[in-house]
Every structure is written in C-alpha cells, then in structure tokens.
Amino acid sequence: MAAGRRIGVLAALPARYGSTRFPGKPLADLGGRPLIWHAHRAAQAVPGVDRVVVATDDDRIARAVEGFGGEAVLTTGDHATGTDRLAEVARAVDAELYLNIQGDEILARPNMLAPLIEAFRKDPSLQVGTVCHPLDDLADLANPNVVKAVFDHAGFALYFSRSPIPFVREPGAHLSAPAGTFFRHFGIYLYRKAALLAFPGLPESPLERMEKLEQLRFLQAGYRIRVLTTEHTAYRVDTPEDLAEVARRMAQQGGEAE
C-alpha cells in the first residue's frame, strides 16, 4: 500500500482469526452481522477520525470487511501483539495519530474517545494514551479477563494488571471503597507515529510476559501513558459467552450495545 497523503487520525482495528479462546471471533454473528462490522461501524463514528482500516492476517476477515464496504490491510501473521500489527500499518500508511481499537471491542458511545484525541492535539508531548472506566461490578476485580489500571494525580498510568489493583488489604473493605478507586482498562490506545514505530524494537518486558499486557512494554521502557477516564463503556468479546451477553444488551437497547 502506498503511503500517500498524511492522515490526521487513522483508526486501525487489529483482528485475528486464530483466537485461542474463540477461533474466528471477528466473523462471529452478532445481530445478523459479523462482530468486526460492529467494531468498524463504531470506529467510523468517532469524532476526529479521518480513516478506518482493519489490520488482519486472514483473507477471510479481509473479504468480510471489504464485503461491507470497509478497508482491510493485510499484514504478516507473525505479530505477537496488536500494537506490533498496527506498527506494520503505520509503516505503510502515514498519519499523525493512530487510534488502536481492538476488533473485538465495540464502543458504546463513539464520542467517548474524542477527549483523548483532543488531548493529544493540545499537548504535543503526549506519545501514548488510553481510556479507563470506573469498575461497575466489583466482582470483576477478580476476573483476569478484565484489566485494571491505576494512575497518578496527573492522569498518567502507574500500572495495569489482570489482578485486583489497588489491592485492598482489609477483608471486605473494597465494598466500601470510595468512587474512583477501581478502574477497568479498555484495549484502546492512541499513539503518535514515532512511539508506535518504536514499539516493535523495544525489549519485551518481564511484566509484559507475565501479565500478557503489551502496554507494560511501554511503561517498563519509560514511556508515560496518558489515561483519560470516561463514564461510557466498551463491550469486549473474549469468549462466546461474552458475545451472548453483548447480543442480550443489544436486544435490550433496540439493536445497539449501549
């Protein structure tokens, strides 16, 4: 793909066919359309996004995306993370900012990402950013599929973990913790091009290997990750059970998972 004219904000949706827990997940049926269609549609509606592509290593996903009028970018199949896959896209498509939205994550309100884009436009020192949501269900603290985040007073990440963070030492005290104590992290990132292209060359961090969270590579390499909080949510599909839950929410809301 030719680089062409520089884009302001490119939204890219990494999508793999070979998910261990849910093979073929991007093509799973959700309300009569593939899951990737819903994620793509939500990404298109994000204010400030100039172009949306699906980055995949699978012809079946590419054909499905092109079939509903989307743009697919075929990448190599040996990427360990979605950020590595997005870095390959960045080498082919020139943009100022790259918005990484997982292909299995559906934004409940696309405008939830507008403040993150605006923050990067106002502050050129920002290199990596993401969003978190107050943890609604405290039972999710113990769910390793729900990534938790803690950040400093200036809004920069301190750590991300699949374990409960912050850890509450006193038994049961988490039930009375003040609002704003626990946050769920979404698999959504905003990068400047230099940071994104640097990622594949950074050493894989021990924390990243243990937690299986790629953003920890940035943190352990000394990058600061700007975290914005939102009252809106995103629906992540990791398993067939998650897909059924999103379908239920959509039915309740008249076709939208809000």
Query: Tell me, what's the pLDDT at 1?
Result: 45
Among the listed residues 51, 69, 61, the one whose alpha carbon sits nearest the alpha carbon of residue 14: 61
C-beta separation of 246 from 235 below 8 A: yes
Does 164 sit behind a cis peptide bond, omega within 30 degrees of 0 on the bond before it? no
Q: Is residue 31 left, alpha or beta, with left meaning phi > 0 and alpha meaning psi from -120 to 50?
A: left
Flag whether pLDDT at 233 surpasses 90. no
SS3 97: strand
Cα–Cα–Cα angle for 131, 152, 198, rounded to 5 degrees: 60
Q: 147 or 174: which carries more pLDDT confidence? A: 147
SS3 192: strand
Residue 256 pLDDT grade (very low, low, confident, very high; cuts 50, 70, 90) = low
Cα–Cα–Cα angle for 128, 195, 118, rounded to 5 degrees: 40
Question: DSSP E strands: which ranges in 57-182?
Answer: 72-74, 95-101, 105-107, 128-134, 148-151, 157-161
Amino acid, single-letter form, for residue 92: A
Q: Is 125 exposed, middle or buried (0-12, 13-18, 19+ CB in 10 A)?
A: exposed
Compute and round to an integer the Cα radius of gyration of the chain: 18
Maximal C-alpha separation, the chain: 58
Among the listed residues 96, 97, 74, 100, the one whose alpha carbon sits nearest the alpha carbon of residue 86: 100
State the DSSP code for 204. P
Q: Which residues pair with 51 in a beta bridge?
A: 10
Q: pLDDT tens digit string along 46-57?
A: 999 999 999 999
pTM of the model: 0.91
Cα–Cα–Cα angle for 90, 209, 102, rounded to 5 degrees: 40
Q: What percent of the chain has pLDDT over 70?
A: 95
Which residues are CB-neighbours of 41 under 8 A, at least 6 positions away? Answer: none
User: What mean pLDDT, rounded, does the chain reach?
Assistant: 91
3.40.50.720, 3.90.550.10, 2.60.410.10, 3.40.190.10: which CATH number matches 7-252?
A: 3.90.550.10
Query: Tell me, what's the pLDDT at 2?
Result: 45
Query: Tell me, what's the pLDDT at 84?
Result: 92
State the DSSP code for 205. P
Residue 255 pLDDT grade (very low, low, confident, very high; cuts 50, 70, 90) = low
Q: pLDDT tens digit string along 106-156?
A: 988 999 999 999 999 999 999 999 999 999 888 899 999 899 999 999 999
Flag whether pLDDT at 257 surpasses 70. no
Q: What percent of the chain has pLDDT over 90?
A: 72
Query: Tell me, what's the pLDDT at 169?
Result: 83
Flag whether pLDDT at 175 surpasses 90. no
**What angle separates helix 59-67 from helix 35-44, to the nearest 10 degrees?**
60
Q: pLDDT tens digit string along 58-72?
A: 999 999 999 999 999
Using the structure block, give the residue that is written with the tokens 């230099």: 194
